[in-house]
Amino acid sequence: MAHFKPAYLIHGDDHGRIAERRARLRALAQGQSGAHGVELFEGDRAAPDVVAEALSAMTLAVGRRFLIVDGAERFKEKEVGPLSAALATIPPDTTIAFFAREDSRAKAPAALHRAVRDAGGDISAESGLKPWELPKWVSARAREEGLELEPDAARALIAHVGERQQRLLRELEKLALGAEQGASIDAGEIEALSAPSAERKAWAVADALVAGEAEAATRLYLALRAQGERVPGLLYWISQRVRLAHEIASALDAGEPAAVVKRRLRMPSRAADRLIADARRAGADRLRAAISEVADLELASRGGASGGAGEDTAALVAIQRIVS
């Protein structure tokens, strides 16, 4: 069971991160005390005097009581007095969390900082970095995940996914899952490693085709269609991947060492090893035939085909032919 302090103040100009922390705290609180044990203070109810009165009021709730207060950036210094007094005598089974989405004009007052600190609470600043500071920050976070990102690679990742620190952290976590500990990732690899999810899943369909796994390819294809992906877009990425596998198989047939082939691939090490092994087993001839099958499907899907069930049937039949 999570341990909670009496009070929290989460403030700063990274509003997305603050919203995520609020959602996480609410979920944890509801998991521990149920919905009846969580009280929300928003809008007019988030005034300091209203919150102070609620904090001092008796409650019949069983278990820990949680009060979540939004808009603390609007508190005025002179309004915090009653709230400070209520925090000084906060019951041992109560937790109150203040969230302040700050900007240049609105900040949580110093009196609230003092009151939370004096109550034995925790204060966290969630501040966004300046754009020019992000590459260095991304490289540092990458090292914490066991990766090495050069400045150019960090800038490429920021260009791909945006400047939100939480989004960048999630992308770094995903990169670490697919790479070896201590791996060095350059800017060229970022494009493949941080591709949109639909693109990555289309590659997964292609990888299943190259590996001869009809059931997996069919399941992945149908899942992508169920989530609304269009056939022409899927076929584009599948075609790219199958063509890459054919190039690998052709290079191996020509006597090129697998290690040399691997260095040209812009993908995580384990993914590259798997694709090379699958391409070697499939052979250049079968992969050439697979390219032809996918090309025929692309032509049909872009040439005014009616789509729907007919389009999907043709794709599923082609999957079976490719892996047979």
- What CATH number does residue 186 fall under? 1.10.8.60
Residue 1 in any domain: the answer is no
Which residues constitute the domain of residue 286? 197-323
Q: Which of 193, 215, 247 is the last residue of a domain?
A: 193
pLDDT at 188 over 80: no
Give the pLDDT confidence score for residue 76 in this predicted structure: 94
- Asked, for residue 2, whether it belongs to a domain, the answer is no
The pTM of the full predicted model, rounded to 2 decimals, is 0.47
Written as six digits, the tokens of 198 are 């639909």
Whole-number pLDDT of residue 11:
94
| Whether residue 100 has pLDDT greater than 90 | yes
Mean pLDDT of 222-226: 83
Asked if the model's pLDDT at residue 198 lies above 50, the reply is yes
Q: What CATH number has the domain bearing residue 15?
A: 3.40.50.300
Q: Give the per-residue pLDDT at 178.
A: 64
- Identify whether residues 201 and 316 lie together within a single domain: yes
Q: What is the mean pLDDT of the chain?
A: 85
Contact 149, 193 (CB under 8 A): no
Q: Is residue 314 assigned to a domain?
A: yes
Do 121 and 146 reside in the same domain of the chain? no
Q: Are residues 220 and 140 in the same domain?
A: no
> Same domain for 105 and 167?
no
Is residue 120 in some structural domain?
yes
Co-location of 317 and 205 in the same domain? yes
Q: Is the pLDDT of residue 175 over 50?
A: yes
Number of domains the chain contains: 3
Answer yes or no: do 313 and 206 share one domain: yes
